[in-house]
A and B are shown apart, each in its own frame.
Chain A
Amino acid sequence: MATALEIQPMIDYRHLVQDGRLHGSLYTSPQIFADEMEQIFHRGWSFVAHDSEIPNAGDFVVRRVGTQSLIAIRSKDGEVHVFYNRCPHRGATLCQTSSGHRSRITCPYHAWTFALDGRLIGLPDEAAYPADFSKADAGLTPVARMDTYGGFIFVNLIPNELTLREHLGHATELIDALLGLSPTGRIQLSAGWMKHKMRSNWKMIVENQVDGYHAPMVHGSLIAANRTFATVRDRKPTSPTRVRDFGMGHSDIDHASDYRAAGDRLFRWTGGIDPERLPVYVKAMNDAYGPEDARRRLIEGPPHSMLFPNLSLAEMNIMVIEPVSPQHSIQYTIPVFLEGADDLNARTLRRCEGAMGPAGMLIADDAEIGELTQMGVANLEPEWILLSRGMGKEEVLANGVKLAGLMDETSQRGFWSHYREVMAASQEVSQ
């Protein structure tokens, strides 16, 4: 993929991103936003789709990664391909809908037609092209690199030196934890995505996804209106819940540490439902993992995490952040269905609707606070945002993972320290 060659004044990311504070311009500057699209989204690994969204040959989804519209499609041999959503002939958009099914891809402009694996298989009046024209050279353009983990498909548009596994690092544990709630180890993202306009910078959404400090304030209205729906957990500053910085910008709120400390009650992560009301799921888990290990899984529940830069395993939802401009983003949300757990899935669907998305009793309020924050940081003073809560008090494990209290900003600092390395390193190479 080509890169922009504009001459721009150098932005000193090591100055703007400090250990306990951030410069407000990080959320408002168009130049910083443009840098991020290239350095983070195009040169790094980003989530694009899940394998289960396109189960059959010809199924496709269209997703935006950075500034680029991509088609993820399954070909007849079962392989997933990710192509730029652009006809190689004259540049028209190939797929207009966000998902669908095609037996082949035909451009609406001049009817150039491509097989599901991207090969150009037909065009009107091919004989009019010069002798050196070859259909073999005029297929759809795939992204530079694509790789998967646990069915999650990631792309890297401008090749970097990291494998996907190196990028994910310890975050594979989070994906494993989610998949491990399924008796078959597989999830299905088949319920459709809610798309929510957020009037805030994409990084504010990242920060909020793993913020253990705001819930009693931002979500106080839901906690007051429906205490059991708001999930059964300790929200006090003294909560056993830890936030964790996994490195590489990945972080989570480890509610499992609270659930474990609270005793052996199952399903606190889905409203504390009586296990007898989910007999099919509980039996399937016992059969798959044995009673003891199944019990541990059903106590600990799903991860509440943010994988750098755009994928959130948000308990029984997947959320994806699509940056639009410095001030606008789109948040995608879908409930996670576990293969072999239809009784739980029905519940997960209804809980997702209650909490998430534009009308959700949780997320609409996060969107509102994000907008207020975006408006606030447009003011030039004070220049800095404080992000030092709990700094210096983290417990550092032998593998480098940092743990801190529920309300500490360790998780956000984990994101920002990696952000700083990615943004500054690219400049240091190009100097």
Chain B
Amino acid sequence: MTTATLERTTLSAAAVEQFLYLEARLQDEHRYDEWEALWASEDTLYWVPRRQDADPAREVSYIYDNRARLASRIRQLNTGVRHSQAPQSGLRRLISNIEISENGADVEVQSNFILIESRRANLTTWAGRTTHVLVPAEDGFRIKRKTVVLVNCAEAIDNLAFLV
């Protein structure tokens, strides 16, 4: 690996990490419009499968949002009367084990997360592995595709009305 490549990788790795942390913070703080603005304007997919290696053309997913469906989800949250997030859950997530690879112009990023949800008297632990496909933009990246595989995706899960 040449010095130039190493520098580029180091820089882009830091930029990717910063982008993931920004996205996590916007989700944790229910900043719905700012989160939606992180997405590319079209041809996107936000996918939370019901099992590892699922075929989304044949199997039901918890979330399988194209760009229009994602916009509906955000509009619903923005009404303030989406009861399952009114009041909003207290959320904080940690992101780690980040692995980055490049695929043409796209950057594919895999990461683990642990998320704590506080809702009434309950603290709920969520965890999983996220795959982002990011496209470079002038001010950072845009999300083209995000897949979140929960560790307990095949089991019964609680309401998932916040942004995961």
- Taken together as a complex, chains A and B put the C-alpha atoms of A368 and B155 apart, in Å, by 19
| Residue of A with least CB distance to B60 | A191
Q: Tell me which of B51, B61, B75, B80 has the highest count of chain A C-beta atoms within 10 A of its own C-beta.
A: B61
- Of the stretches A40-48, A204-212, A359-367, the one at the interface is A359-367
A369 within 8 A of B: yes
CB-based contact A192/B62 at 8 Å: no
A335 within 8 A of B: yes
B4 within 8 A of A: no
- Taken together as a complex, chains A and B put the C-alpha atoms of A350 and B72 apart, in Å, by 14
CB-based contact B62/A357 at 8 Å: yes
For A335, list chain B residues within 8 Å (CB). 60
Which of chain A's residues 345-380 have a Cβ closer than 8 Å to chain B?
346, 349-350, 352-354, 357-359, 361, 364-365, 367-369
| Residue of B with least CB distance to A333 | B60
CB-based contact A365/B60 at 8 Å: no
- Taken together as a complex, chains A and B put the C-alpha atoms of A122 and B101 apart, in Å, by 51
How many residue pairs link A and B with beta carbons under 8 A? The number is 98
CB-based contact A195/B60 at 8 Å: no
Tier of interface size on chain A? 35 or more
CB-based contact A359/B48 at 8 Å: yes
B35 to chain A, nearest CB (A): 15
CB-based contact A197/B158 at 8 Å: yes
- Of the stretches A29-37, A219-227, A287-295, A385-393, the one at the interface is A219-227
Q: Tell me which of B51, B61, B63, B76 has the highest count of chain A C-beta atoms within 10 A of its own C-beta.
A: B76
CB-based contact B156/A367 at 8 Å: no
- Of the stretches B9-17, B23-31, B81-89, B131-139, the one at the interface is B81-89
A93 to chain B, nearest CB (A): 16
With contact pairs A194-B62, A226-B76, A354-B69 given, residues A330 and B160 touching in the complex (Cβ less than 8 Å): no
- Taken together as a complex, chains A and B put the C-alpha atoms of A334 and B80 apart, in Å, by 29
| Residue of A with least CB distance to B74 | A225
Q: Mark B57-99, 1 if CB is under 8 A from A, else 0.
A: 1111111100001001101111111111000000000000000
B50 within 8 A of A: yes
CB-based contact A229/B157 at 8 Å: no
With contact pairs A330-B156, A353-B64, A358-B159 given, residues A192 and B59 touching in the complex (Cβ less than 8 Å): yes
For A218, list chain B residues within 8 Å (CB). 83
Q: Tell me which of A226, A350, A364 has the highest count of chain B C-beta atoms within 10 A of its own C-beta.
A: A364
CB-based contact B58/A361 at 8 Å: no
- Taken together as a complex, chains A and B put the C-alpha atoms of A354 and B60 apart, in Å, by 10
Per the CB 8 Å criterion, the residue count for chain B at the interface is 33
A324 to chain B, nearest CB (A): 9
- Taken together as a complex, chains A and B put the C-alpha atoms of A219 and B163 apart, in Å, by 19
CB-based contact A197/B58 at 8 Å: no
- Taken together as a complex, chains A and B put the C-alpha atoms of A350 and B58 apart, in Å, by 10
A289 to chain B, nearest CB (A): 27
B136 to chain A, nearest CB (A): 29
A284 to chain B, nearest CB (A): 19
Q: Which residue in B59, B69, B79, B159 is a CB contact (below 8 Å) of A367? A: B159
CB-based contact A191/B58 at 8 Å: yes
CB-based contact B51/A359 at 8 Å: no
- Taken together as a complex, chains A and B put the C-alpha atoms of A330 and B155 apart, in Å, by 10
Q: Which residue in B58, B60, B76, B81 is a CB contact (below 8 Å) of A194? A: B60
CB-based contact A220/B81 at 8 Å: yes
For A224, list chain B residues within 8 Å (CB). 75-76, 79
B123 within 8 A of A: no
For A354, list chain B residues within 8 Å (CB). 69, 72
CB-based contact B156/A195 at 8 Å: yes
A sample of 22 inter-chain contacts (CB < 8 A) reads A192-B59, A194-B60, A196-B157, A196-B159, A197-B156, A197-B157, A218-B83, A220-B81, A221-B77, A222-B76, A224-B75, A225-B75, A226-B72, A226-B75, A229-B72, A349-B60, A353-B64, A359-B63, A361-B73, A364-B159, A364-B161, A368-B84
Extra contacts, 18 of them, besides A353-B60, A358-B159 (Cβ < 8 A), are A194-B60, A194-B62, A195-B155, A197-B159, A221-B80, A221-B82, A225-B75, A225-B76, A225-B78, A225-B79, A350-B64, A350-B69, A353-B62, A353-B63, A358-B62, A358-B157, A364-B161, A367-B84
Seen from chain B, the residues whose Cβ lies within 8 Å of a Cβ on chain A are 48, 50-51, 54, 57-64, 69, 72-73, 75-84, 154-161
